[in-house]
Each structure stands twice: as C-alpha cells, then as structure tokens.
Structure 1
Amino acid sequence: MPDAIFSHPRLAVVYDAFDGKRDDLDSYVGLADELAAGLVIDVGCGTGNLAVRLAANGRRVVGIDPAEASLAVAKSKDGAGTVTWIHGNATALPQLGADLAMMTGNVAQVFLSDDDWAQTLGAVGSALRPGGHLVFETRRPERRAWLEWAADTEPVILEVPGAGTVERHLQVTAVDLPLVSFRCTYRFASDGAVVTSDSTLRFRSRAEVESSLAAHDYRVLDVRDAPDRPGREFVFIAQRMV
C-alpha cells in the first residue's frame, strides 16, 4: 500500500506545493538526452512532474504508480494526455522495450525488503530493451539525513490553491538502520481536518546497491552526485546487459 502522502486524495492535491519546484528533475531530463532515450518509464511517477517534462520534449513516456490519488493529479496537468499512465507497481509493467527507466526522489528507497527491491529490479529490466538504462537516486547513509529531519521541528505553512491554508509538521518516529521512519501531519485550516502519513525508507550503501544491480543483470556505468544535493545522494546509471 502506498503511503497516505501519495494515496490520500487531500494529501495528493497538496503534494506538489510542499515538494517545491523540483529543479532536480532538470538533471533527469538532461540524462534522458544524454542517453538518447526515445521511450522512457517513470517508475513511481507520483503526481507526474517528471513524466510530463519528459513528454514535452517529444519522447514517448510511461508513468506508473500504485497511488490512484497521485495519478489523478498527474492526469490533470497540461501535457498529461501524451503520457501513458499505469496504475500499479513495477510488476505491472508490460514488456515495452523501453530505452530508459527512472526512479527519482525517494522511490528507490521505499522498497524495504530485499524481495521487494529484487522484484522491482527484475520487472523494470523486463520492461527495458537489451542495453536499455536504469537511472535512480538514493540517499547516502553516511550523511544521516534523518538527523536533519529530526532537528527541523518548525511547521511549514502554505497557501495551496484549491485547498487553502495547510500546515505540515514532520517527525522522525524511528531509526532502526537501515530503516528510518517518519510521520507527516497535515492540518487543513478550511475545516480543521488533520491527516497523517507514515513513511519508512531504506538506506542502502553503495556496495549494497551495486551488488543488487549485478545480481539482476545490470552493469553499473556511472555513479554521480545529485547536482542540486552534492555529497548527499548517489545517482546510479546502470545498463541492462541481457
């Protein structure tokens, strides 16, 4: 089940406002150019920001996500009609012969068990053409991002079109490495409603990620910094070998 932050209709509608401009997605569009990708899969596409940007450049794009509420937001955006949207996780992908699959944000870290991560790598590989690429980011465990999250106790208050004033509070609820859990609480001033979303991420080391990719017939071509978050994340560029 996807977290409420993606699957609850009221939270999906305000997600983009709290997520910010997502300037980080520019580097992924650039990577699609670098890899000459004509057909791209956005795995865990959420509210569709990357998928729509990729499609705007003339590519064929498939966006897949298990949260129907997020997909509803994605489908309402300008340019969304040129994207093929699929409701489900990566195992719902057909054999597309895609040139590139991408996982941005926290997507690669929501797969908590080895089995879930293995199934995802396998399903994505089946949807890629031989020689196709997989690109994704994951936070460096040694940077201990959860310490910053725990220290940031100030609520964020935004005016969200169509939702009014919304306050969000973030709380780290558990650190049991490699798993870190946190809760986002949203308060809607329009009616006083309070909606919470609990999430858990898995922090994998570079060696662990590289080993899992090799086990599923990917070759790691490069491991880069996230341009907007230097030293904080790994950006893996891998190629399907068979």
Structure 2
Amino acid sequence: MADALFAHPRLAAVYDSFDGDREDLTAYLDIVAELGADHVLDLGCGTGCLSVRLAESGRTVVGVDPALASLEIAKSKDPAGRVTWLHGDATTLPALGADLAVMTGNVAQVFLTDRDWAQVLQGVHPALRPGGRLVFEIRRPERRVWEDWVADPARVALEIPGLGTVEQRREVTDVSLPFVSFRYTYRFLADGAVVTSDTTLWFRTRAEVESSLVAEGYRVLDVREAPDRPGREFVFITERTA
C-alpha cells in the first residue's frame, strides 16, 4: 500500500511543489542515454516527473505506481498520452520487453521484508528483455542520514496556486535499524486541514543488496555514487541474466 504522501489526493496535489526541481533525475536521464535504452519502465513513477521527461525525448515509456492519486497528477502532465500509465506494482507487470527499468528516490527502500523485495525483483525480471537493465538507488546506511533528519525537522511553508499556504514538517518517529520511520505533517491553512503521512525505509548494506540481486537473476554491472549527492547514495546498474 502506498504512503499517504502519494496516495492521498491532497498530498499528491502538493507533492511536486515540496519536492523541488528534482535535480536527482538528471543522473537517470544520463544513464538512460548511456545505456541506449529506448523502452523504459519507471517503477514507482509517482507524479510522473521522470516518465514525462523520458517520453519527451522520444522514448517508449511505461510508468507504474500503486498510488492512483499520484498517477492522476502524472497523467495531467501528459496530455498527449505519450506515456503508458499503469496502476499497480512490480507484481502486476506485464511482459514489456523493456530495455531498462528504473526505481528513483526512496522506491527501492520501501519494501520492508526480504520476501517483498524478492517479489519486486521477480516481477521486474520478465518485464525486461533478455539482457535488459535494472537501475535503482539506495541511501548508504553508513551515512546515517536520519541523524540529519532529527536535527532538521524541515519546516517549510509554500504558497501553492489554487490551494493557498501549505505547511510541511518532518519528524523521525522511530530508529530501529535497519529500519527508520518518519512522518510528514501537512497543514492546509485555507481550511485548517491537517494530513499526515508515515514512511518506513529499510537501510540495506551494499553487500545485502548485491546478494539479493544475484539470487533473483541479476548481474551487478556497476555501483556508482549519485553525482548530485556524493557519499549519500549507491546507484546500482544491473542486468537481467536469463
């Protein structure tokens, strides 16, 4: 089930405003070009920022997300219907023959059991063509980013057209490594509504991720830094092996 941050209509509507310009997506656009991928699966596409940009470059793009509210926002950015939008998750993927599947942001860390993560990898596998690539990122656990989150509650207030002023606050609610939980609270000043969204991330080690990939039929080709966040992320570039 998707977090309220993506699934609640009021939060989906303000997500892009608070998420900023998504400079992190530039690295994925560069990787897509580097790998020569013409058919891309954006798994956990959210409000469609990457999917739309890829489609604008002439690529065939499928965007998949379990949060219908986010998909509605994504579709509104794609009036020409260049992206195929699917409401679902990795377990519902058809055989797409994609050159590349990507999971950006925190997507790869929201699966909180070995079984759930294995099901994601198993679901993506047949959606790729033989030799297709899977690229995703995880936060490096040794960086201990949750300590930064505790120190900075990230209180932000934005004036959003049509909605008025919306306040956002983040708080860490539990650290039980390898799991870290946090809550976003949004206050809509126009009507006083308060909506919260709770998230838990699994901070796996690089070795744990590599082992899980090999077990599910992927070859790790490279593990890189995220160029806009050096020392904070691992970016895995993998290949379907069978």
State the TM-score bracket (shorter-chain normalisation): over 0.9
The one-letter code sitting in structure 1 at the alignment partner of 2:68 is: E
Equivalence for 1:16: 16
Equivalence for 1:52: 52
Gaps of 5+ in 2: none
Q: Secondary structure at the match of 1:210?
A: helix
What does 1:195-234 correspond to in 2, within 5 Å?
195-234=195-234
Q: Which moved more, 1:100-109 or 1:25-34?
A: 25-34
Q: 1:98 to 1:193 in 2, by over 3 A?
A: same
TM-score normalized by the length of structure 1: 0.98
Equivalence for 1:2: 2
Paired residues of 1:55 and 1:79 also in contact (CA < 8 A): no
Matched, 1:35 2:6: no
Q: Secondary structure at the match of 2:119?
A: helix
Identity %: 69
Q: Cα offset for 1:155? A: 1.3
Matched, 1:189 2:201: no
Kindly report the root-mean-square deviation, in angstroms, between the aligned alpha carbons of the 2 structures.
Answer: 0.9
Q: Cα offset for 1:198? A: 0.6
Paired residues of 1:66 and 1:89 also in contact (CA < 8 A): yes
| Counterparts of 1:200 and 1:25, CA distance in 2 | 22
What does 1:148-159 correspond to in 2, within 5 Å?
148-159=148-159
TM-score normalized by the length of structure 2: 0.98
Equivalence for 1:122: 122
The one-letter code sitting in structure 1 at the alignment partner of 2:206 is: R
Q: Cα offset for 1:153? A: 2.5
Q: Secondary structure at the match of 1:190?
A: coil
| Counterparts of 1:4 and 1:116, CA distance in 2 | 19
Q: Which moved more, 1:25-34 or 1:64-73?
A: 25-34
Q: Cα offset for 1:126? A: 1.1
| Counterparts of 1:173 and 1:163, CA distance in 2 | 28
Gaps of 5+ in 1: none
Q: Cα offset for 1:23? A: 1.0
Deviations, residues 89-121 of structure 1 (Å, cap 9, x unaligned): 111110111100000000000001100000000
The one-letter code sitting in structure 2 at the alignment partner of 1:177 is: L
Q: Which moved more, 1:150-159 or 1:186-195?
A: 150-159
Count of residues in Structure 1 that have an aligned counterpart in Structure 2: 242
Runs (4+) of structure 1 moved beyond 3 Å? none
Q: Cα offset for 1:154? A: 4.7
Equivalence for 1:167: 167
Deviations, residues 119-170 of structure 1 (Å, cap 9, x unaligned): 0001001100110000000000000010001111351111112221000010
Deviations, residues 21-45 of structure 1 (Å, cap 9, x unaligned): 0011011011111111111000000
The one-letter code sitting in structure 2 at the alignment partner of 1:120 is: V
| Counterparts of 2:78 and 2:119, CA distance in 1 | 33
Matched, 1:176 2:176: yes
The one-letter code sitting in structure 1 at the alignment partner of 2:168 is: R
Equivalence for 2:66: 66
Q: 1:194 to 1:58 in 2, by over 3 A?
A: same
